Amino acid sequence: MKSYFPNVPRIEYAGPRSKDPLTFKHYNPSLKVGGKAMRDHLRFAAAYWHVMRNGLSDPFGSPTALMPWDDGSDSLDNALHRIPVFFEFLDKCQIDFYCFHDRDVSPEGDTLDVAHANLARVTKELKAHQRASGKKLLWGTACLFAHPRFAQGAATSPSVDVFAYAASQVRHALEATHALGGKGYVFWGGREGYATLLNTDLKREQAHLAELLHLAVKHAKQIGFKGQLYIEPKPREPSTHQYDSDAAACLNFLREHDLLDHFKLNLETNHATLAGHSMEHEMEVAIAAGALGSVDANRGDTLLGWDTDQFPTDIYLTTQIMLRILRMGGLTTGGLNFDAKRRRESHEPIDLFYAHIGGMDAFARGLQIADAILRDGRLDEALRQRYRTWDTVIGRKIEKRKMSLVELDEYARGIRSPKLESGRQEMLENLINEYIR
Amino acid sequence: MKSYFPNVPRIEYAGPRSKDPLTFKHYNPSLKVGGKAMRDHLRFAAAYWHVMRNGLSDPFGSPTALMPWDDGSDSLDNALHRIPVFFEFLDKCQIDFYCFHDRDVSPEGDTLDVAHANLARVTKELKAHQRASGKKLLWGTACLFAHPRFAQGAATSPSVDVFAYAASQVRHALEATHALGGKGYVFWGGREGYATLLNTDLKREQAHLAELLHLAVKHAKQIGFKGQLYIEPKPREPSTHQYDSDAAACLNFLREHDLLDHFKLNLETNHATLAGHSMEHEMEVAIAAGALGSVDANRGDTLLGWDTDQFPTDIYLTTQIMLRILRMGGLTTGGLNFDAKRRRESHEPIDLFYAHIGGMDAFARGLQIADAILRDGRLDEALRQRYRTWDTVIGRKIEKRKMSLVELDEYARGIRSPKLESGRQEMLENLINEYIR
Amino acid sequence: MKSYFPNVPRIEYAGPRSKDPLTFKHYNPSLKVGGKAMRDHLRFAAAYWHVMRNGLSDPFGSPTALMPWDDGSDSLDNALHRIPVFFEFLDKCQIDFYCFHDRDVSPEGDTLDVAHANLARVTKELKAHQRASGKKLLWGTACLFAHPRFAQGAATSPSVDVFAYAASQVRHALEATHALGGKGYVFWGGREGYATLLNTDLKREQAHLAELLHLAVKHAKQIGFKGQLYIEPKPREPSTHQYDSDAAACLNFLREHDLLDHFKLNLETNHATLAGHSMEHEMEVAIAAGALGSVDANRGDTLLGWDTDQFPTDIYLTTQIMLRILRMGGLTTGGLNFDAKRRRESHEPIDLFYAHIGGMDAFARGLQIADAILRDGRLDEALRQRYRTWDTVIGRKIEKRKMSLVELDEYARGIRSPKLESGRQEMLENLINEYIR
Amino acid sequence: MKSYFPNVPRIEYAGPRSKDPLTFKHYNPSLKVGGKAMRDHLRFAAAYWHVMRNGLSDPFGSPTALMPWDDGSDSLDNALHRIPVFFEFLDKCQIDFYCFHDRDVSPEGDTLDVAHANLARVTKELKAHQRASGKKLLWGTACLFAHPRFAQGAATSPSVDVFAYAASQVRHALEATHALGGKGYVFWGGREGYATLLNTDLKREQAHLAELLHLAVKHAKQIGFKGQLYIEPKPREPSTHQYDSDAAACLNFLREHDLLDHFKLNLETNHATLAGHSMEHEMEVAIAAGALGSVDANRGDTLLGWDTDQFPTDIYLTTQIMLRILRMGGLTTGGLNFDAKRRRESHEPIDLFYAHIGGMDAFARGLQIADAILRDGRLDEALRQRYRTWDTVIGRKIEKRKMSLVELDEYARGIRSPKLESGRQEMLENLINEYIR
């Protein structure tokens, strides 16, 4: 079988002292951490769009990525030809899952009928490769943002015909995902928002968006798709404002439109920081609502104001993410999808490997560190201690909603002065550093 | 009667050609705009804390404001002495409403009992001045953020005793507001959030916050307070993160905890921009949920990262705010509260007048411009035209949820290609400029 | 002669009451303001790249702009064919100047020789159109950022061959600018910076950049080009950091490398705000150094973190810009170049007209307002008064550097306490609003 | 001798496996790294203002810090009484240096004469404690920002008398620093900038600032002070804009006013990020100009828009800082000054220890990691390789300025196409992670 990355061996675990950049120093797929193999904790996925389709252009420059396997055309043949390249990549990187947009894997064509036929053909091919390799689909999605017809929204377009086109695409992307045994299906609404409020009916647009989601819920049920549905928050870029701007905005929207039972959130670090939140914050908000579904594993540059989609190599970040995933009992349908791209200057195919190795090793370390923190117990104990006055008679009574304002006033007037203990942030930060090794 | 601003006359409307900085050039209180007097459209309020208590210190410097009427002490006498000064200010500025925090008008004292007694005494005095002057209370609130005991939260404190103290203060602030005929009562949770997630139980803290709001709802009912309850979004500062971070986060919280029937939002421009949103955006979100209650009228400096609370002098901003207020049928219980302060360099008492005059004139212009835009109708017509395909048979059918994904797919495949018209943002921006005079 | 905008008449001044969106409401080219015609104050230029070449793609979507005159190819024929379209646009918009990048007007070709020949051919055609129409070239520049070869810098590339390519392009772009009677030549270094410091020798790269500028200075002299050379500050985007990050960084660089006598700055509002500065600030910094040359007239959205290049329709902004231009005695070689693009949703050719009309009218108003402010004199008088203690004996002595620290200490100890007057920011902001009509 | 921290032992090195939060896990003062003791590499300093005077108030709340040794007064006695507390802190933390502002150590008093006398008295006491303990003064400075008289600037005040007051303070602070054997003297101009350009003469104000610096240079020479003079960049907060906004702005200012021979920069991480730069960037800019003098060791929260002055516990950050310090041959007069404060919630005295221990350990790790990176050599080798084409005949010729634009054009036309290698950012980021242990 032809190799498209002939100079890249299968990436193997070689331990932290390895100086070979084409080895894992920390990711040891079958190593058990807390009784579960690393690969099952982490459920890594590669993003088809970044690995196979991202030419690394930017708003001021043309694509730089070398893709010797790609003839540069939008043909179905070229699309089919990319598939074995991608599966070779997955295999060599030891990544078990992948994610795709309909239009990344399959060309648009001149009509919707052609587009649907193309997608069906590509789906068949992907299925064959999944079967042969054991790789799995983490989630699929429809690209409702790149084509000019979606410039003013897909579900939230002022044109009802555009809404119908979006619905048509969602139907087929959902069916393709189902056919491939996808564990989930994602809605990211990059054009579901506005460029200016001067020409926007926000309430009506949001109702249309909700309707598309309801339609998808019903259709999923009809075709027997049992995967998890997700929405993915992002505040801006490309639109000036996107309705699903952060975890709280998504939850508010889902609650308002009776969709919270059907959707979970797919959170991304760079989207969190663009919204002015830490990734930990977004995770806590989602977890508190029982709605954390999956993670787009990347990082941003908080000194820049756009989505840089860098690979997550910061161990502090991966530790915080894994700490929360472990505490919630692990990912079920979701995974860690590398929605991350190389820098435009890293234009050689081998950079794809360096990039994913770095992200996988960083998450493997994050997992081990988080596990050590939880086993050690000092962090959680500090948290428990901090709230201990709420575990008293009076605290419980308030939590059970058995006290009135007047009773609390009387209680308060009987206290000389509430005593506050230090929040100990610095000590706790030092504690985290103990585990960073 | 002694005057505390002897060199400042009552500020009167003198028309746009006046060069006297101590006149209104646009605010003409009794002038009818669309059949309603300006004063009733705008319902201006002065913030007791900024006018009377803000020394204009900043994190790197001491207070600069000259307050010849204030003896600098925390005594009850001094508190009582400030009241006529404030009412002289309201009178000379022709501002009909005011807002206060319990601890701004009245000293804390050594015990809660003293604090409550002080507040009761001050309330009596305020009431007398209201009666004599005809001025009214727009809203009251409890200061649950300045005292060290609230450093780690009030309702969301890890200490149950602090929660009780907060409850005690809310009870009495609510009762004082009721006694003064307040049109509303505000919760701003500057410490209801966290400094670090390392020591925070977000879900439990939010439940405690919700409980305090429920307690207030019940108590208001009990004492017969019919004013509107508000929460006020702000994302950060002082806390690293505050739970009520923006309009969507507040609505999500209110929905989750069954509080949406009881609360509206008090929106502030500078809080909106700190959250990465325009004020127009926050207003649209609140209005779409039927939850816009009142407005804190100020502006920020979007190149700075903190709450600058500047006076709102940008006519574009005041136009956008008034456009939305007019479209929603006007403010009812709410008003335009100048939660705004002079710059630290503007330390003379007369600067208080310049500052408020500027804000009032800018809103008077915004009102007139917004009224002209709505009467002219071109902007609203452009909006209507933009969504006209939704007012067709197929559009209505979707909005009534009578179409399935499969039917929409079929419909879409029958369209050759959706036609998209220009969004015309530039033309609409030019249109707005036509009215800026 | 064929018209490419058959439905657009020549845009004429129709006065502020005109409701026709295809008229100027304020820009009256020959109207004298302070003894000089508006067109000579404003020296408007259109940017060839935005008008003719910007398809309005963004990082998440394909081009939307309709360009019926363009065959979509990179051929020389197509390039030549665009020229009359552009000149029709200039004529109908009454814009006297234009600006271009070599690669916007002329295709790259397979070799440098072809590229140079193409540029020469296009230059000839532009010259003919300039002669026929009376339109003039404000400035030219070389595009040293779009091609993949410049991904890691042009003058600052790690590859010496890329430096040579950049030098070659600069030579020919400079000569084309000279041939077209260009009033200036701009260097914008979008790739002159770094993606990461891990792989960057900042000092060496900056020396290379300085050398390219020195080479251009020498070559300009050699060919007799008397136009002004400019550098254009921008902090980031596309690069993580660009060396010419703001006005101060540019001046520092020019001073260090003995280039300050040869270069002025071309300032852009959106670049200023991306650097965390107001446009007024950047202008003051440049003017204080005698180095303000020209202006890229646009605006950004300070709630977004990237270069939105919107049309400048905010009258406050245009007033502040024109105030500074008038105070410095007007633009000489420079002008107001609309480095601004329509929103991606405004994809029809007519939107180009709405957009430029809006910008031109806003600057015409800014000019008139600034002129009124200066004629009125109250703002400048307030400034003079504020510093009046420096116009005393002691102030002058310090300014002439005739006082020592010891003498000043003695002087200070003789003062009871320095008296500070209010900075009156609010009153001055109100004063500006008086002129906004 | 009385102990003010009776429950805190002297902090000793106990190795990375220690679980005692009151030990160093990495800072081992006498351990040699590359032939030099850790303490000599790191030259830690404590900031008198944060340790002894920071009550941890914020713009929305009162001080929380417990300071049982402080009587809360502004008396000279209280000032003298704080000194042994501070030296006990230095001793127990094993911090060799300290820094102060005149007004932190010594009360202002009613007149300048009193203020100077107070400072003289305190200086005597500090000197005695230095002698007894062996502790040293890293740098001194005058507080020219807290007093209301400096609200509109110190050297850049519109009032010449305020300039004289500032000069007077600088004289005495400089002399105190000299008397205490200070290694340097810092100018941070928190009020040297503007609140609004409407009332500001930027050029004149900057000239006044330059004059104050010249006066200090002359006076330092006169009194025989051989320490290094520094300016400290910060873009904003408290002022809307400060003239010394970042390293490049400072260098531009120093060059323009012929001060570059006399000043180096004192760089702070949080000031760098507020200016939109990484600390590494600011260090590279300063080092390239031969002007890096000293470091204020802290970190900010890039999701917040103000100076959070947190303790530097991020090992990536400390590694990058130490990498640059090692490459430049180490600090000479400068050091690592903890211009960092505990969070407001960490109000107990022991939190001061946790905070400093965390910062010191993080820098000790950064030093060891940076040393390992440099000894290993792979990072520097990658850098050398990247620029190797510049080390050829043609590269050298350009760098020696022996090529013209025409010659480069000819050279370029002879190249088929420049070959660009990957920038390898991801691989280099992975490489850094190898050393993070």
Q: Which domains does chain B have, with CATH numbers?
A: 32-376 (3.20.20.150), 390-435 (no CATH)
- The predicted-structure confidence for A287-344, as pLDDT tens digits, reads as follows 999 999 999 999 999 999 999 999 999 999 999 999 999 999 999 999 999 999 999 9
Cα A273-A278-A283 angle, rounded to 5 deg: 115
Q: What is the mean pLDDT of chain B?
A: 98
Give yes or no for a contact between B295 and B363, defined as CB atoms under 8 angstroms apart. Answer: no
Grouping H, G, I as helix, E, B as strand and the rest as coil, residue D73 is: coil
Q: What percent of chain A has pLDDT over 90?
A: 99
Question: How many whole angstroms separate alpha carbon C369 and alpha carbon B437?
Answer: 12
Q: Could you report the predicted ipTM of this complex, rounded to two decimals?
A: 0.97
pLDDT band at B416 (very low <50, low <70, confident <90, very high): confident
Residue with tokens 């495949």: B413
Residue D187's contacts (CB-CB under 8 Å, 6 or more residues apart) are D141, D213, D216, D229, D230, D231, D232
CB contact under 8 A, A238 and C61: yes
CB–CB contact C389 D214 (8 Å): no
pLDDT digits (tens, 9 = 90+) for A179-221: 999 999 999 999 999 999 999 999 999 999 999 999 999 999 9
Q: Model confidence over C160-199: pLDDT tens digits?
A: 999 999 999 999 999 999 999 999 999 999 999 999 999 9
Q: Is B1 a residue whose pLDDT tops 80? A: no
Q: How far is D317 from chain B (nearest CA, A)?
A: 19
* Chain C interface mutation, best of A49, A50, A53, A60, highest count of C Cβ atoms under 10 Å: A60
Measured in angstroms, the CA of B306 and the nearest CA of chain D are apart by 6
Asked whether residue C1 carries a pLDDT value surpassing 70, the answer given is: no
Vertex A312 angle, CA A310 and A315, to 5°:
145
The whole-angstrom separation of Cα C343 and Cα C324 is 29
- B114: confidence class by pLDDT, cuts 50, 70, 90: very high
The CA distance from A340 to D282, in Å, is 28
Inter-chain Cβ pairs, chain B and chain D, closer than 8 A: 92
Among C41, C101, C277, C356, the one annotated catalytic? C101
- For residue range A398-423, list pLDDT tens digits in order: 999 999 999 999 999 999 889 999 99
Contacts of B236 in chain A (CB under 8 A): 276
Write out chain A residues lying below 8 Å of D355, CB-based. Answer: 426
> What global pTM score does this model have?
0.98
| Contact state of C354 with B430 under an 8 Å Cβ cutoff | yes
Distances (CA, A) of B248 to A277, B17, D310, D354: 14, 43, 30, 38
DSSP letter assigned to residue B148: G
Q: Which residues contact A59 (CB under 8 A, 6 or more apart)?
A: C58, C59, C237, C238, C306, C307
For residue B179, what are its two tokens? 């006694």
Rg (CA), chain B: 24
- AA letter at B245: S
Q: For position D1, what pLDDT does the model report?
A: 66
Which of C172, C402, C420 to mutate to probe the D interface, most D CBs <10 Å? C420
Q: Which two tokens stand for residue A290?
A: 């029982």
> How far off is chain A from D428, nearest CA to CA, in Å?
9
Instruction: Quote the CA–CA distance of B134 and B140 in Å, as a whole number.
Output: 17
Max Cα-Cα span within chain B: 81
What proportion of chain A, given as a percentage, has pLDDT over 70?
100
pLDDT of residue C416: 86
Q: Between chains, do B436 and C436 touch, taking CB under 8 Å as contact?
A: yes
How far is B87 from A374, CA to CA, in rounded Å? 59
CB contact under 8 A, B412 and A165: yes
Number of cross-chain residue pairs from A and B with Cβ atoms under 8 Å apart: 269
Check: CB of residue C49 under 8 Å from CB of residue C139.
no
Mutate to test the interface with A, among B242, B379, B420, B428 (most CBs of A within 10 A): B420
Write the pLDDT tens digit of every residue in C309-353. 999 999 999 999 999 999 999 999 999 999 999 999 999 999 999
CA distance C111 to D413: 8
Cis check for the bond before A6: say yes or no (omega within 30 of 0): no
Element spanning D294, H or E? strand D292-296
Torsion of CA B244, B249, B251, B255, to 10 degrees: -100
CA-CA-CA-CA torsion sign (D331, D335, D340, D346): positive
Report residues of chain D scoring pLDDT below 70.
1
Distance (Å, whole) CA C166 – CA C144: 7
D213 Cα to chain C: minimum distance (Å): 10
Interface contact flag, C315 B429, Cβ < 8 Å: no
Taking contacts as CB-CB distances below 8 angstroms, the residues of chain B near C279 are none
Q: Which two tokens stand for residue C86?
A: 């552009």
Question: Pick the catalytic residue: A104, A307, A309, A371?
Answer: A104
Chain A residues near residue C303 by CB distance under 8 angstroms:
236
Chain D residues whose CB is inside 8 A of the B305 CB are 274, 304-306
Q: In chain A, what is the greatest distance between 2 CA atoms, to the nearest angstrom?
A: 81
What pLDDT does B437 receive?
A: 86
Nearest Cα to A433, choosing from A382, A371, A369, A364? A369
Q: Is A182 exposed, middle or buried (0-12, 13-18, 19+ CB in 10 A)?
A: buried
Tell me if D146 and B240 make a contact (CB, 8 A cut-off).
no
H-only helix segments in A18-111: 38-42, 48, 76-93, 102-105
Is residue A104 among the annotated active site residues?
A: yes
Segment B332-337 mean pLDDT: 97
Q: How many C-beta atoms lie closer than 10 Å to residue C131's C-beta?
A: 10
Per residue in A152-179, pLDDT (tens digit) is 999 999 999 999 999 999 999 999 999 9
Chain C residues with CB within 8 Å of chain A CB: 58-64, 145-148, 150-152, 190-191, 195-196, 236-238, 240, 274, 301, 303-307, 343-345, 347
Q: How far apart are CA A347 and CA D424, in angstroms?
A: 9
Ranges of H-type helices in D257-391: 269-274, 279-288, 315-327, 349-376, 378-386
Give chain C positions within 8 Å (CB) of A62: 146-148
**8 Å CB contact between C28 and C13:** yes
Instruction: Check CB contact under 8 Å for C60 and A150.
Output: no
Q: Do the Cβ atoms of B197 and A278 come within 8 Å?
A: yes
Q: How much is the pLDDT for D188?
A: 98
First-residue to last-residue Cα distance in chain D = 41
Q: Is B321 helix (H, G, I), strand (E, B) or coil?
A: helix
Residue type, A420: L
Which among B41, B50, B101, B277 is annotated as catalytic?
Answer: B101
C102, exposed or middle or buried, with CB in 10 Å at 0-12, 13-18, 19+? buried
* C343/B273 touch (CB, cutoff 8 Å), yes or no: no
Tokens of C178: 């000279």
Closest C-alpha among C435, C307, C433, C287 to residue C371: C435
Q: For chain D, which residues lie within 8 Å of any Cβ of chain B, measuring from their own Cβ?
A: 58-64, 145-148, 150-152, 190-191, 195-196, 236-238, 240, 274, 301, 303-307, 343-345, 347
Distance CA A280, CA C374 (A): 53
* Active-site residue identified among A41, A101, A178, A356: A101
Q: How far apart are CA A259 and CA B24, in angstroms?
A: 51
> What tokens appear for C282 in the block?
């950047």
Angle at the Cα of A17 (from A13 to A21), degrees rounded to 5?
60
The pLDDT score that the predictor gives to residue D437 is 86
Residue of C nearest to B346 (CA): C422
Q: Which two tokens stand for residue D299?
A: 């970190």
Q: Per-residue pLDDT tens for A75-113?
A: 999 999 999 999 999 999 999 999 999 999 999 999 999
Which of C148, C196, C301 has the CB atom closest to A64's CB atom? Answer: C148
Q: Distance (Å, rounded) from C-alpha A293 to C-alpha A75? A: 35
Cβ contact (<8 Å) for C392 and D160?
yes
CA-based Rg of chain A, rounded to a whole angstrom?
24
pLDDT tens per residue across span B368-401:
999 999 999 999 999 999 999 999 999 999 999 9
Does C158 sit within 8 Å of D112, measured CB to CB? no
Closest CA to A94 of A135, A143, A51: A135
What count of Cα atoms within 13 Å lies in the side-chain half-sphere of residue C352?
A: 29
Please name the chains neighbouring D, where neighbouring means 3+ C-beta pairs under 8 angstroms: A, B, C
- The reply to whether residue D306 touches residue B301, judged by beta carbons under 8 angstroms, is no
